[in-house]
């Protein structure tokens, strides 16, 4: 059986996950919303991300351990950090997810926008934990990359909300 795929991500009110420079420094004042992150991370067996997000992650300490990490890329990737288990993949995300170890029960779809769009288009996103940050950025990297107009409408069901002291609101949805 295919693992549950969870998009766990922060976005501005206007739906951007990075600003026009590709930076996520605007998220820094809202770190209280990460309160449940360690528990979430311990519940995932594998990660999936795009090349741009992988290269961003390489500039920071690798805190994801040896979990299999699918990195979608059309071009050769830089080496992963020591201790990481990087699996370069391309093409249909479903085939890559199906090639994960059989014991994989939950995958964290890390981003970024282009990779999120590929998973959405393939109907693979089972759950979305969206941390809406109380800022309007105006431009940047869209939550679903190439823009919602490029996708067929997809219905999700609201499951839960949580408000953090910084003003971040988490919205949790599952595929309906």
Ligand X SMILES: NC(=O)c1ccc[n+]([C@@H]2O[C@H](COP(=O)([O-])OP(=O)(O)OC[C@H]3O[C@@H](n4cnc5c(N)ncnc54)[C@H](OP(=O)(O)O)[C@@H]3O)[C@@H](O)[C@H]2O)c1
CA dihedral 51, 56, 61, 62 (to 10 degrees): -20
Token reading at 166: 């910084």
Instruction: Say whether residue 115 binds ligand X (CB under 6 A).
Output: yes
- Tell whether residue 118 is a contact of ligand X (CB under 6 A): yes
Q: Is 53 in the site for ligand X (CB under 6 A)?
A: yes
Options 5, 9, 109, 130; binder of ligand X; rule CB under 6 A: 9
β-strand 127-133 against 106-111: which pairing, if any? unpaired
Please name every residue paired with 88 in a beta bridge, in sequence order, or none if there are none. 71
Nearest-approach distance from CB 36 to ligand X, in angstroms:
14
Encoded tokens for 130: 């969206």
Q: Out of 25, 59, 61, 75, point to the residue binding ligand X (CB under 6 A).
A: 75
Cβ at position 153, least distance to ligand X in Å: 21
**Element counts in the chain: helices (H) and strands (E):** 4, 10
Q: Where are the alpha helices (DSSP H) in 31-123?
A: 37-42, 51-58, 93-98, 113-121
Instruction: Give the interface segment with ligand X, choosing from 52-60, 62-70, 148-156, 163-171 (CB under 6 A).
Output: 52-60
Residue 113, interface with ligand X (CB under 6 A)? Answer: yes
**Chain contacts with ligand X (rule: CB under 6 A):** 9-10, 17-18, 22, 24, 49-53, 56, 72-75, 90-91, 110-115, 118, 141, 145
């Amino acid at each position: 059986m295919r693992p549950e795929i969870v998009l766990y991500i922060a976005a501005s009110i206007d739906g951007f996950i990075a600003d026009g420079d590709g930076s996520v420094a605007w998220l820094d004042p809202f770190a209280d919303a990460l309160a449940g992150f360690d528990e979430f991370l311990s519940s995932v067996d594998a990660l999936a991300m795009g090349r741009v997000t992988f290269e961003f992650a390489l500039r920071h300490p690798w805190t994801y351990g040896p979990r299999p990490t699918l990195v979608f890329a059309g071009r050769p990737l830089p080496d992963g950090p020591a201790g990481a288990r990087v699996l370069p993949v391309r093409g249909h995300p479903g085939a890559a997810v199906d090639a994960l170890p059989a014991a994989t029960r939950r995958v964290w779809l890390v981003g970024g926008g282009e990779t999120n769009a590929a998973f959405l288009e393939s109907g693979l996103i089972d759950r979305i934990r969206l941390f809406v940050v109380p800022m309007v950025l105006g431009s940047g990297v869209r939550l679903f990359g190439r823009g919602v107009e490029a996708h067929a409408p997809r219905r999700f069901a609201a499951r839960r909300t949580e408000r953090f002291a910084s003003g971040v609101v988490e919205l949790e949805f599952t595929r309906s």
